[in-house]
Amino acid sequence: MPTSGDAGPLAVERSFTDAHDIQIVFDAYAPQTTARGVVQLLHGVGEHARRYAALISALTAAGFAVYADDHRGHGRTGMGHHGEAAKLGQLGPGGHRAAVDAVWLFTQLIAAENTGLPLILLGHSWGSFLAQKLVNAHPDAYDGLILSGSSLLWPGALNAGDLNKPWRGKDATGLEWLATDPAVAAEFAADPLTTDKPLAQLFGIVEAARLYGKPRKNLGRDIPTLLMVGGEDTVGGPRSVHMLADAYRSRSGFRDVTTLVYPGDRHEIFNEKDQAEVRADLLAWLDKHYPSRD
């Protein structure tokens, strides 16, 4: 049914069922002008798709349809599956592989409903890790790749420790790593559909280890790629994201790879104080690669 409220732009809430009979809830947003492309938005761990209202508004205003799901165990999907907030973030039967497979099912649904339009995969944090897995497995399905708060998924590049370490102190909330604006952490903590439990605790060590893996060699397709990262992001940070960019060039054969670093920003660049600049940079990149059809 159509909704607005916390979703920002008008959303149509829908669902599909994955291979384990888990109902995956998603929102579909129509563009405000003639559609020139479709963005599949993948949120991060412990959160949900409706935290991206400002970004979705900018994308639909620019002529992009947006599809955004609450992944396995997360948000509305997780509440429907688990029935209690204490279990949010737990992936359920099939673990991480099932979570990846469910997002791939979502891609196929989106493609079937938008024949002839370019499909751009936009993932933040864990969503960017899911995106890396999907591009490795199905490179022909995607016409563009945008990763924010990402990392090369390799030991020594991906931070598996305390993400809030630089901001430890007696008054620390433990969520300072998200953004420089304390209101972002406060809103995250107050949201009934989020959890601040660490990824390894939510997934378990074995399932968390399934995150690891480099961009596949010789993907056979040059997918335009944009990597965006805060200068103070503790998940991977600029060093790791530059390593990821180099891997896409040297291993996958991508020639069109752009990396943007935002000095002073932390992990959630779309919620940072300079978020308008971040969105403008994203839209400029999209304008260059997917021109308006008007």
Confidence (pLDDT) at 1: 38
Rounded CA-CA distance 239/158 in Å is 10
Q: How does DSSP assign 131-164, residue by residue?
A: HHHHHHH-GGG-SEEEEES---SSBTTB--S-TT
Alpha-carbon torsion 149, 151, 157, 159, what sign? positive
Q: Is residue 92 part of a domain?
A: yes
Model's pTM, two decimal places?
Answer: 0.96
Report DSSP state, residue 22: P
pLDDT, tens digit (0-9, with 9 covering 90-100), for 198-233 = 998 999 989 999 999 999 999 999 999 999 999 999
Rounded CA-CA distance 251/284 in Å is 27
CATH number for the domain spanning 177: value is 3.40.50.1820
Three-class secondary structure of residue 100 per DSSP: helix
Q: Tokens 């995607």, residue?
A: 142
Vertex 197: Cα angle to 270 and 12 (nearest 5)? 50
Rounded CA-CA distance 184/190 in Å is 10
Q: Is residue 220 part of a domain?
A: yes
Confidence (pLDDT) at 5: 40
How many folded domains does the chain comprise? 1
Q: Which residues of the chain have pLDDT under 50?
A: 1-7
Confidence (pLDDT) at 293: 74
Of the candidates 144, 258, 158, which has an alpha carbon nearest to the alpha carbon of residue 214?
Answer: 158
Q: Is residue 118 part of a domain?
A: yes
- Structural domain of residue 224, as residue ranges? 2-289
Exposure b/e, 138-173, CB count within 10 A at least 16 = b: ebebbbbbbbbbbbbbbeebbbbeebbeebeeeeeb
Q: Is residue 206 part of a domain?
A: yes
Q: Is residue 294 part of a domain?
A: no
Q: Is residue 150 part of a domain?
A: yes
17 phi/psi in degrees, rounded to 5: -110, 130
For 61, the token pair is 């205003």
pLDDT, tens digit (0-9, with 9 covering 90-100), for 103-128 = 999 999 999 999 999 999 999 999 99
